[in-house]
Amino acid sequence: MILHRILTKLIPANAIENAAAHCDIPCKIYDPYSAQYAALSVIRFMDQITELDTGDNLSSADLVKLARLTQEKETHAEIAKHEIRVIWGDYFKQPQIEQFPHIHELAHKIMLAGSACKQGIERDKGLDLLSLINEFAAAFWATKSVETYSATCPFLPSESVVYPKLNA
């Protein structure tokens, strides 16, 4: 608001044309890998929490580690949701929606799966989140006419991830 007032005093109104963009900064750079990486992190944190569980005999150091793992699990679940919301909201327009009419439902399922991961430590919920995000990634790359393949990620939790097949 302040910048607008300053500019209108310095520059005549007819000297600037209106501009529009589909997002805050029209970079047009999108990649679902950030969401996939976050989902993999959620699964890994769930695994580490489960490995830490030794019953009622957790040391103070274990309790601190448990708190940190839980916080990171929830943070990464939110990152996964955020990354999908950005691509879904900023990239998917009418042509892409016509190509994948279920994309709204898929994005909503991802939001619910991310929330479920924040609520518990059940590994199958993390796997569900990753599976849905992989489905989203495959659709995203298909809208760009980029083939995909699935491979096991080269780090724990060693789960399958959809990758774009890029030409070198």
Highest mean pLDDT: which range of 3-17, 55-69, 82-96: 82-96
- Burial of residue 83, with CB atoms counted within 10 A of its CB: 0-12 exposed, 13-18 middle, 19 or more buried: buried
In this prediction, residue 19 carries a pLDDT of: 44
In this prediction, residue 56 carries a pLDDT of: 78
Residue 40 CB neighbour total at 10 angstroms: 23
Determine contact, residues 43/124, Cβ cutoff 8 Å.
Answer: no
CA dist., res. 78 & res. 70, Å (int) = 13
Most distant CA pair in the chain: distance in Å? 73
Residues counted in the chain: 168
* 157: preceding bond cis by omega (within 30 degrees): yes
28 pLDDT band, cuts 50/70/90, is: confident
In this prediction, residue 57 carries a pLDDT of: 85
What is the rounded average pLDDT of the residues 76-91?
97
**C-alpha dist (Å) from residue 74 to 11, 79, 107, 118:** 47, 9, 18, 5
CA dist., res. 82 & res. 44, Å (int) = 19
20 pLDDT above the threshold of 50 = no
Domains of the chain: 27-164 (1.20.120.400)
Structure confidence by residue, pLDDT tens digits, 123-136: 999 999 999 999 99
Place of tokens 């910048």: 3
